[in-house]
Structure 1
Amino acid sequence: MRTDVLVIGSGIAGLSFAIKIAQARPESSVTVLTKSSNDTCNTAQAQGGIAVVLDRVRDSFEQHVQDTLKAGRGLNDRKVVEMVVSQAPERLSELISWGTSFDADKEGGLALGLEGGHSQRRIVHHKDLTGLELERKLLKKAASLANIIFTDKYFVIDLLLEENCNKTCTGVKVLDKTSRQQINISSRVTFLATGGSGMIFQNTTNPSVATADGVAMAVRAGARVSNMNFIQFHPTALFEEGKHPLFLLSEAVRGFGAYIVNHNGNRFLFKTDTRGELATRDIVSEAIVRELKTSGESHAFLDCRHLNFEAFQNEFPTIVAYCQRIGLNLKTDLIPIVPAAHYQCGGIDVDQNARTSISNLFASGECANTGLHGANRLASNSLLEALVYSHQAFESVVQELDEIKEPKNEIQPEILTWEHEADDEIIESLRQRLNEVMTYDLVHASGKRDKKEALEQLEELKDIIDHYPPFNTGTTAFYELRNMVCTAIIILDQAIDHHSKMRKNLPDPVM
């Protein structure tokens, strides 16, 4: 299999890039690979919206920049923040031109929501299913372009590198989940839009496909990766015993006026930050975890009982429907909540054109470390980041594509045979061990000694995966587990290094 441009992932980062390349270069082939179906991704789960400065009277680009820097604890790249924020109106206009619908206010303009960490209303949204609306319209637009080919159920195992040169990507090795063959796919340009790593953690809001595949394959290929210890936990995941992943309760619910309370019904966030429920996610999550340690309880609550139910239901129909389905009446009941891993702020290092440290390999979206977020992502900046960096990559690739020679990878398929059948139960038990290790406390609250002890446990898991033959089954479950353990080790390695650098007041390392 050969293609001019290979896109791995079908969320907003991958689809917006594919659409632009396909439109600008109709003679070029664009292949989009997904390991599940093309509508299964983090984008489709996004409830909040896109942060865009539209009200130039009350708001400004500089205010959005400052809010982003403050949320990221000043560890952002200011030039990147300014680039992303200033492009937002133009990227939004493109989405609208592709058919995306956003909620309107009473005057007929775009309704602007408020979320934690934002000093002004600037969140453009489609009720509480903005991501689903985006995904549907982007898929529809992509389907209208004849030179975009979707290939589902193809799991990317590793990147292919040019012989005798470890710095040029020439395609990927994939597992065809239907035929159980391993196949090489050659490409002039490879674009990683593989999403995040939430399934590594004990609690997460990410979909089951978020298994850190892009970061892990990039590391194995020798790409630079950094800031992986900056994992953002969302403070309001709906707590359900034994459920993985957890259902997300949008940041916008607190912007609408919901309270966070403890088991005594008391609001406690103002003891930590004067913004209360509208503080940034890291601050709210930390306050909830501290409250739970003090009380010994397993969860806190989101209180919506004082809100106008009809207005709330109109704004958040998905959330109301889910709560009703599990037996919660928001007029009378509190919603149990717990912080959950939500967003990977670090990732594969890219420049302002989304280039990685490997030639012909680009990355955008959650798998990339752009410098926008710093230590903590400002709400609703992620969809915007993906749009901007995919646009930046498009502008570079469309100019350079003709100059990139077609790679000469061998295309012989390999039919897989195994001495041992895949033991799904054992692989699942190893995933559970990984989840038990990777908690909020470990990443954000524990000391260096605890992190090192956890790292030893992860190294033992890696040794089992690498050297115990029955686990090397060649299945998607095996490869996902390998990727998650690899990435978890990187997260802890960089968390330990960050801890040491903070004590010495030195800059963060780059891996």
Structure 2
Amino acid sequence: MSVYEFDVLIIGCGISGLTSAAKLAESGIRVGILTRDEDPKVSNTLYAQGGIIYPHDGDRDLLEDIQKASSYTANTKAAEILKERSGKILEEVLIEKSKTNFARDEKGELLFTREAAHSRDRILYQGDFTGKEIQISLLNYLSDKSRFPNVHLLTKHTAIDLLTPVHHGVSIQQRYEDNYVVGVYALNQETKEVAKVISKFTILATGGIGGLYLHHSNSEGARGDGHAMAKRAGAILTNMEFIQFHPTTFFDSSSHRRFLISEAVRGEGGRLINSNGVAFMEKYHPDRELAPRDVVSRAIADEIIETRHDCVYLDISHKDSDWLKERFPTIYKHCLEKHVDITKEPIPVVPAAHYTCGGVKTNLKGQTNLKGLYAVGEVACTGLHGANRLASTSLLEGLTWGYIAAENIAKKLDTASLYDAYKIQDWRKGSLEADNALISQDWLTLKQTMWNYVGLTRTSHRLKRADAMFSELYDEIERFYKNAELKDSLIGLRNAVEVGYMVLNASRRNRESVGCFYRKS
């Protein structure tokens, strides 16, 4: 059985994972980055369109905007750290080192935009592909082997389970050790071999859980792998009922992943109209199109029901045609491919699952309750977002706590040691063929259950129905998983069912509608 050894293992390669890797690698630390995709660019960061907040010392309103968007449920201490530290971290990592190409005016000064629930223009952007620009610039920075020979990228490797001596030790005596994480089992998708990846510290940077829903704006890899592995290892998870839905994704029935129509379109003056051509947001919120996302999402859902139409429309065709093409090139191109010219006609839009506000509970240094395990970015929960995320804080949070976690780990490395790989059990292979048709059908059942019963609006009856469906699905997959030959889709399905259960149970416990969580009964 293959064994890899690193000082720090990072699972996931979006903005949070890459920032951790960059900060650690600069100190000569041996870093392993593990991703299930063949292309390391593929992550939720890649799909982020709008932008990233760039806090300034004089911006006294940021804390209030974060709290207001969260319905005053956000962790104030986390918000204060974001305000105090993130600006300098952004300057160091993105502007100075990775040379991220943010939009600038003719004088070379950074341009700023505004999104919903922000009281001022404070968001850096690059067209409508800000996340892609950040992702590529960070990867380019890290891939320079002359600078970082100590960084190793394991693509097409799927993390299966976090390694703890308590659960995976070869002797009974190891059960009495402290419960801590010493690495991960990882499936090489090409060779089908499972390797032990041993590390002094492990950072989960696996993203959110949008991929559990039938309609979502995430990469399909956002299926809760990190959440499920952490839970099985003994980590605490919190706020799992708070799933933010993005109000405006392109209405298209050709795939589960819906193309995001950035909030910046509304920030730049786009108006929501129903199928009768009537602007409707004024009757739902005084901020109209710039109301918090949960309000806009439910307003759209209500209009769809009321008009008995499949979608509503986002109209920005009153803006200058050339300006629109330059400001939103990706959106313009995608819509045109779908036979919608945004310079002349409105865009058909519907809500979709977008962001996970809860996750693996960490302190303000990214540490979980398990020794050796950190979590950063969307998989983690510092409480920054509370019950609802302020637009464009997600990239900034990943950047900030990716950096802070790496700082904290670097201070501890001298006193940490690698666990003996031979004291960890080898993976026991299953022999039952994993039927792709069964896996695909179970995935579809899961996605439909989450969308219909644990979605934008939840009720006791819907949650009860979801519980019955999950119970059957969970038992079946657990029995099958133990004996089946491993493949990425099966690993993801097992994790997704566990995480779906977490969202369901958190939703049943919480009877208070707050932020992005809306429960009728």
Asked if these proteins are the same fold (TM beyond 0.5), I'd say yes
Give the AA of the match of 1:354.
G
Number of aligned residue pairs: give it.
494
Q: Distance in 1 between matches of 2:61 and 2:395?
A: 19
Aligned to 2:18: 15
Q: Distance in 1 between matches of 2:495 and 2:450?
A: 14
1:124 aligns with 2:143: no
Q: Distance in 2 between matches of 1:325 and 1:450?
A: 37
Aligned to 2:34: 33
- Aligned residues of 2:242 and 2:388 also touching (Cα < 8 A): yes
Going from structure 1 to structure 2, the CA distance change for 1:12 and 1:379 (only over 3 Å counts) comes to same
Give the AA of the match of 2:126.
H
Going from structure 1 to structure 2, the CA distance change for 1:118 and 1:444 (only over 3 Å counts) comes to same
Aligned to 1:90: 88
Q: Alpha-carbon deviation of 1:395? A: 1.6
Give the AA of the match of 1:97.
E
Deviates more, 1:332-341 or 1:211-220: 332-341
Aligned pair partner of 2:191 in 159, 179, 182: 179
Aligned pair partner of 2:331 in 316, 319, 327: 319
Aligned to 2:516: none
Q: Alpha-carbon deviation of 1:82? A: 1.1
1:152 aligns with 2:155: yes
Q: Alpha-carbon deviation of 1:218? A: 0.4
Q: Distance in 2 between matches of 1:425 and 1:257?
A: 46
Q: Alpha-carbon deviation of 1:469? A: 6.6
Going from structure 1 to structure 2, the CA distance change for 1:440 and 1:364 (only over 3 Å counts) comes to farther
Q: Alpha-carbon deviation of 1:105? A: 2.9
1:46 aligns with 2:48: yes
Q: Alpha-carbon deviation of 1:153? A: 0.6
Q: Distance in 2 between matches of 1:491 and 1:49?
A: 28
1:298 aligns with 2:298: no
Q: Distance in 1 between matches of 2:323 and 2:57?
A: 23
Q: Alpha-carbon deviation of 1:441? A: 6.1
Match of 2:248, SS state, is strand
Q: Distance in 2 between matches of 1:469 and 1:370?
A: 32
Aligned to 1:140: 140
Deviates more, 1:483-492 or 1:438-447: 438-447
| Structure 1 residue runs of 4 or more that deviate by more than 6 Å after TM superposition | none
- Aligned residues of 2:481 and 2:494 also touching (Cα < 8 A): no
Q: Distance in 2 between matches of 1:219 and 1:423?
A: 27
- Aligned residues of 1:18 and 1:30 also touching (Cα < 8 A): yes
Aligned to 2:171: none
Q: Alpha-carbon deviation of 1:475? A: 1.0
Q: Distance in 2 between matches of 1:41 and 1:271?
A: 37
Going from structure 1 to structure 2, the CA distance change for 1:349 and 1:179 (only over 3 Å counts) comes to same
- Aligned residues of 2:430 and 2:482 also touching (Cα < 8 A): no
Q: Alpha-carbon deviation of 1:198? A: 0.8
- Aligned residues of 2:367 and 2:374 also touching (Cα < 8 A): yes
TM (normalized to structure 2)? 0.92
Give the AA of the match of 2:276.
N
Aligned to 2:164: 161
Give the AA of the match of 1:435.
K
Aligned to 2:432: 419
Q: Deviations over 1:28-87 (max 9, x none)?
A: 31010000121111111111111123483xxx1x30110110111111111111111222
Show the 5 A alignment for 1:106-121.
106-121=106-121
Going from structure 1 to structure 2, the CA distance change for 1:198 and 1:384 (only over 3 Å counts) comes to same
Give the AA of the match of 2:298.
E
Q: Distance in 2 between matches of 1:117 and 1:466?
A: 43
Q: Distance in 2 between matches of 1:217 and 1:151?
A: 19
Q: Alpha-carbon deviation of 1:412? A: 7.8
Aligned to 1:507: none
Q: Distance in 2 between matches of 1:234 and 1:172?
A: 33
Going from structure 1 to structure 2, the CA distance change for 1:288 and 1:166 (only over 3 Å counts) comes to farther
- Aligned residues of 2:324 and 2:343 also touching (Cα < 8 A): no
Match of 1:209, SS state, is coil
- Aligned residues of 1:170 and 1:409 also touching (Cα < 8 A): no
Aligned to 2:517: none
Is there any run of 5+ residues in structure 1 with no aligned partner, and where? Answer: 504-511
Aligned to 1:357: 369
Q: Alpha-carbon deviation of 1:217? A: 0.4
Give the AA of the match of 1:305.
S
Q: Deviations over 1:126-163 (max 9, x none)?
A: 11111111111101111121111111010000000023
- Aligned residues of 2:14 and 2:43 also touching (Cα < 8 A): yes
Q: Deviations over 1:399-453 (max 9, x none)?
A: 1011112111227865846232x21121111111111111276334222232122
Aligned to 1:284: 296
Q: Deviations over 1:298-350 (max 9, x none)?
A: 21111122111111111111111111112111132221111000000000000
Is there any run of 5+ residues in structure 2 with no aligned partner, and where? Answer: 166-173, 514-521
Q: Distance in 1 between matches of 2:239 and 2:379?
A: 11
Q: Distance in 2 between matches of 1:111 and 1:230?
A: 32
Q: Distance in 2 between matches of 1:428 and 1:170?
A: 33
Match of 1:438, SS state, is helix
Aligned to 2:168: none
TM (normalized to structure 1)? 0.94
Q: Distance in 1 between matches of 2:456 and 2:261?
A: 22
Q: Distance in 2 between matches of 1:38 and 1:84?
A: 27
Deviates more, 1:77-86 or 1:326-335: 326-335
Aligned to 2:341: 329
Give the AA of the match of 1:142.
L
1:100 aligns with 2:112: no
- Aligned residues of 1:423 and 1:471 also touching (Cα < 8 A): no
Aligned to 2:441: 429
